[in-house]
Amino acid sequence: MKIIVTGGAGFIGSAVVRMLLNDTTHRVCVIDKLTYAGNLESIGEVLESPRLLFRQLDICDRTGVDAVFTEFQPDAIMHLAAESHVDRSIDGPGEFIQTNIIGTYSMLESARKYFQSLPPEKQETFRFHHISTDEVYGDLENTTDLFREDTPYAPSSPYSASKAASDHLVRAWHRTYGLPVLVTNCSNNYGPYHFPEKLIPLVILNALDGKPLPVYGTGSQIRDWLYVSDHARALYTVLTTGKVGETYNIGGRNEKRNIEVVETICDLLDELHPRPDQVSYRKQITFVPDRPGHDLRYAIDADKIKHELGWEPRETFESGLRKTVQWYLRYRDSWCKRVLNGSYKRERLGLNKGV
């Protein structure tokens, strides 16, 4: 297949691109605007692959996106490009509306125009896979509740509201125009190449730098954690075997309170990279005022993708977090340093690479 991956230089997108180029024979076209969260070093190991095409492009640019469709002639779209940080959405919601809603509309229209030009046999196999989040469901009050594919939407933040809107657009384009779509909603991802503003990499790097480890409120918020490589496998499974028009929830079956996550990271660092004074990294934990509209609990019911498509996560939270901490220790002075000092923005490699 020839697969367009939007946001392919981001955290989850880069994991998908690495998996596609390392584990399959498909050709891949990455469309990425290269905002602060887009980093070509995250796909550096496959950047020279003869099966990779890269286009630095804003998904809101219909003319540019149409040109990529014409040039690449894709068999499938994996749409991951999005603004995704809740705190940033609270401080500046406009970019989230633009990228997540208008950008998805732009991709849908380009895909629809292209799809309608295809011969029937190509239309039969074409797919538009929209990757979304469990945050569109709001939060869960009871400790035994789970997000299911038919859970009503109740987004709490500008970020989750913009993603909810994009989900609705995708389903509308399927029902109104017959565009063959797939939708997935995932739980919190973690793993290598995660931008340091997110909880797990922030805690790891702050701990190593002797900085406070900020925890919102009492740290009682519960999230279901999914190792990013497991997510990439799940997305490929849905793309290749999922039923058109269906939604699949993807979760790691690893519910943890935020304070548990932070304490586990501290314990791993105590083992793998002890402080010079032999004091536990837990001493750096600092509780800070909670953010507005902070959802208490997310938890995914991933039975549908397990029973219908045969996917399950391979990593436990313990094994995945150990791998993650080890990766950040290994790349602290390279990938992490360049992200933190901003030099990765000045060292863009292989822009608009063609095959």
Catalytic residue among 58, 135, 139, 255: 135
Is 135 a catalytic site residue? yes
Catalytic residue among 105, 114, 159, 328: 159
- The residue among 85, 36, 6, 12 whose CA lies nearest residue 346 is 36
User: Letter for the amino acid at 335?
Assistant: W
Block residue for tokens 């150990």 = 322
Block residue for tokens 């779209």 = 77
Tokens of 232: 């990439």
Tokens of 67: 């040109």
For residues 51 and 36, what is the distance between their CA atoms, to the nearest angstrom? 26
Q: Cite the active site residues.
A: 134-135, 159
